[in-house]
């Protein structure tokens, strides 16, 4: 006998990346920043008194909202702080998607999206990306025809690493009848020469939500801290109605402020990742993989048809050597591996192992 709702019983659960049981394992499968958080975060943690934990935290994290508003040159009313980016997604789903209505997404994309839609009891409308990882030509029309209340687009895209420019996003927001959530989990790693910035569009489109996280860029994946940016009419019901009371704990709020206060440190790690990304891509190309240019902290490496092992076999062989990368049991991705960019030493360990596995020692 089960007491689950029917839609919960039928749904498939989210499958997170493997978590190693040893510090000796090289973890390149869940796109964490390979560098530690700012020393300012450590200082703030050292200075924290546990006596403060007897009281509830500020319910809407207004100090952190103010710091984020200053950073992005918007109003505090355009910001809501969340318990990780994933809570931001859940709040958007809860706030804007009626049970039984449609939720829109691209395929392939972040595999949590359909899980959250299933929990909400929403229909998932999927649109396949083309061979260049670009939007299908009639994407907005298809979402509108399906009656999608919310459509999520990862930008830069996961798992390909490709980037849609602000003009494309603006046209999409303009064409969609429902809310467009642009998941910018990896935006900190975009080449600064591109001057990519969607925040200036928040006031121009009343149906545009941007999702950000401290997990990747600020090396705080273990903290669970994120935020949403949007017009006041989108943010207000989340802050006042659908957000859990005291959804972000006091320690997270304080450490988030500390990370923002030393943003220069974070920016240095982003540049180190971008530099390592170029070197790693060149080495993977030398080893016979096809690898598109990425604007994230990972690369999607396609295994050649004439390679001595399949993508899954390479994944398993790396795992035997104590190296985790991400392999997806998905027809669209079964010949590919998603590889997080590590430090120079970590990337060298990875590529040396790949050279042995493929028999291409140089």
pLDDT digits (tens, 9 = 90+) for 219-238: 999 999 999 999 999 999 99
**In the chain, alpha helices (H):** 6-10, 39-47, 62-72, 84-96, 112-120, 139-146, 166-175, 232-237, 250-261, 263-286, 311-320, 344-358
Please report, in angstroms and rounded to a whole number, the separation of the first and last CA atoms in the chain: 60
* Nearby residues of 121 by Cβ (< 8 Å), 6 or more positions away: 5, 7, 99, 100
The domain of 110 spans 50-262
pLDDT digits (tens, 9 = 90+) for 172-181: 999 999 999 9
pLDDT digits (tens, 9 = 90+) for 283-337: 999 999 999 999 999 999 999 999 999 999 999 999 999 999 999 988 889 999 9
Task: Determine phi and psi for 261, rounding to 5 degrees.
Answer: -65, -25
Percent of the chain with pLDDT strictly greater than 90: 91
Confidence of residue 361 (pLDDT cuts 50, 70, 90): low
Is 45 part of any domain?
no
Is 41 part of any domain?
no
Q: Show the CA angle centred on residue 38, arms to residues 34 and 42, nearest 5°.
A: 115
* Nearby residues of 246 by Cβ (< 8 Å), 6 or more positions away: 56, 57, 59
pLDDT digits (tens, 9 = 90+) for 197-221: 999 999 999 999 999 999 999 999 9
pLDDT above 60 for 362: no
Pairing of β 179-183 and β 208-213: parallel
Residue 141's pLDDT is 98
Q: Do residues 325 and 185 share a domain?
A: no
pLDDT above 70 for 170: yes
Return d(Cα 66, Cα 76) in angstroms, integer.
Answer: 6
182 close to 209: Cβ distance less than 8 angstroms: yes
Return d(Cα 276, Cα 319) in angstroms, integer.
Answer: 22
Instruction: Write the DSSP symbol of residue 105.
Output: E
Return d(Cα 238, Cα 247) in angstroms, integer.
Answer: 11
Asked which of 6-15, 31-40, 75-84, 266-275 is least confident by mean pLDDT, the reply is 6-15
Is 79 part of any domain?
yes
44 close to 148: Cβ distance less than 8 angstroms: no
Q: Do residues 174 and 207 share a domain?
A: yes
Choosing from 217, 242, 262, the residue where a domain stops is: 262
pLDDT above 80 for 191: yes
Q: Which pair of structure tokens corresponds to residue 187?
A: 């935006």
Q: Which pair of structure tokens corresponds to residue 9?
A: 């019983």
Q: Do residues 219 and 185 share a domain?
A: yes
Chain centroid, CA 272 distance in Å: 19
Span 75-81, average pLDDT: 98
pLDDT digits (tens, 9 = 90+) for 115-145: 999 999 999 999 999 999 999 999 999 999 9
Query: If you average pLDDT over every residue of the chain, what do you get?
Result: 96
216 close to 188: Cβ distance less than 8 angstroms: yes
HEC secondary structure over 177-238: CCEEEEECCCHHHCCHHHCCCCHHHCCCCCCEEEEEECCCCCCCCCCCCEEEEECHHHHHHH
Confidence of residue 19 (pLDDT cuts 50, 70, 90): confident
Diameter over CA atoms, the chain: 62
pLDDT digits (tens, 9 = 90+) for 327-357: 998 888 999 999 999 999 999 999 999 999 9
Residue 73 belongs to domain with CATH number = 3.40.640.10
Residue 22's pLDDT is 80
Instruction: Write the DSSP symbol of residue 83.
Output: S
Return d(Cα 302, Cα 291) in angstroms, integer.
Answer: 6
Choosing from 217, 233, 262, the residue where a domain stops is: 262
Q: Do residues 74 and 215 share a domain?
A: yes
Residue 1's pLDDT is 64
Q: Do residues 248 and 276 share a domain?
A: no
Return d(Cα 93, Cα 91) in angstroms, integer.
Answer: 5
Q: Do residues 311 and 206 share a domain?
A: no
233 close to 78: Cβ distance less than 8 angstroms: no
Q: Do residues 129 and 270 share a domain?
A: no
Is 43 part of any domain?
no
* Nearby residues of 123 by Cβ (< 8 Å), 6 or more positions away: 100, 101, 102, 103, 117, 146
Q: What is the dihedral of CA 209, 164, 330, 178, to 10 degrees?
A: 30
67 close to 114: Cβ distance less than 8 angstroms: no
Is 182 part of any domain?
yes
Number of structural domains the chain divides into: 2
Residue 18's pLDDT is 86
Is 42 part of any domain?
no
Q: Do residues 251 and 302 share a domain?
A: no
Q: Do residues 111 and 224 share a domain?
A: yes
Task: Determine phi and psi for 324, rounding to 5 degrees.
Answer: -105, 125
Q: Which pair of structure tokens corresponds to residue 61?
A: 């994290």
Is 321 part of any domain?
yes
Q: Show the CA angle centred on residue 161, arms to residues 293 and 20, nearest 5°.
A: 115
Is 291 part of any domain?
yes
299 close to 291: Cβ distance less than 8 angstroms: yes
Residue 296 belongs to domain with CATH number = 3.90.1150.10
Q: pTM score, two decimals? A: 0.96
Choosing from 209, 235, 262, the residue where a domain stops is: 262
Q: Do residues 135 and 224 share a domain?
A: yes
User: Which three-class secondary structure state does DSSP give residue 170?
Assistant: helix
Q: Do residues 205 and 315 share a domain?
A: no
Q: Do residues 274 and 211 share a domain?
A: no
């Amino acid at each position: 006998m089960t007491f689950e709702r029917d839609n919960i019983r039928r749904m498939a659960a989210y499958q997170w990346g493997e978590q190693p049981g040893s510090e000796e394992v090289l973890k390149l499968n869940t796109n964490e920043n390979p560098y530690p958080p700012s020393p300012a975060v450590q200082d703030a943690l050292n200075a924290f008194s546990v006596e403060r934990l007897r009281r509830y935290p500020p319910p809407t994290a207004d100090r952190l909202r103010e710091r984020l508003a200053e950073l992005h040159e918007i109003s505090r009313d355009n910001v809501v702080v969340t318990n990780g980016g994933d809570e931001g997604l859940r709040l958007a789903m809860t706030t804007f998607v009626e049970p039984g209505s449609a939720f829109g997404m691209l395929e392939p994309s972040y595999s949590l999206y359909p899980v959250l839609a299933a929990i909400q009891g929403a229909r998932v409308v999927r649109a396949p990306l083309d061979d260049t990882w670009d939007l299908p030509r009639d994407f907005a029309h298809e979402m509108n025809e399906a009656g999608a209340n919310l459509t999520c687009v990862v930008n830069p895209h996961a798992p390909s690493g490709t980037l849609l420019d602000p003009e494309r996003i603006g046209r999409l927001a303009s064409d969609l009848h429902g809310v467009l959530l642009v998941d910018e989990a990896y935006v900190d790693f975009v080449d600064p020469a591109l001057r990519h910035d969607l925040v200036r569009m928040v006031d121009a489109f009343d149906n545009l939500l941007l999702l950000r996280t401290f997990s990747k860029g600020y090396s705080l994946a273990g903290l669970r801290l994120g935020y949403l940016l949007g017009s006041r009419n989108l943010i207000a019901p989340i802050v006042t109605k659908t957000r859990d009371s005291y959804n972000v704990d006091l320690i997270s709020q304080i450490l988030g402020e500390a990370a923002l206060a030393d943003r220069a440190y974070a920016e240095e790690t982003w540049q180190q990742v971008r530099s390592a990304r170029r070197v790693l891509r060149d080495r993977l190309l030398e080893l016979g993989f096809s690898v598109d240019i990425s604007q994230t902290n990972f690369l999607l490496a396609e295994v050649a048809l004439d390679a001595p092992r399949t993508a899954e076999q390479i994944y398993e062989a790396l795992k035997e050597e104590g190296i985790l990368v991400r392999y997806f049991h998905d027809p669209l991705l079964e010949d590919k591996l998603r590889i997080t960019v590590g430090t120079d030493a970590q990337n060298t360990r990875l590529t040396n192992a790949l050279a042995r596995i493929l028999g291409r020692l140089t």
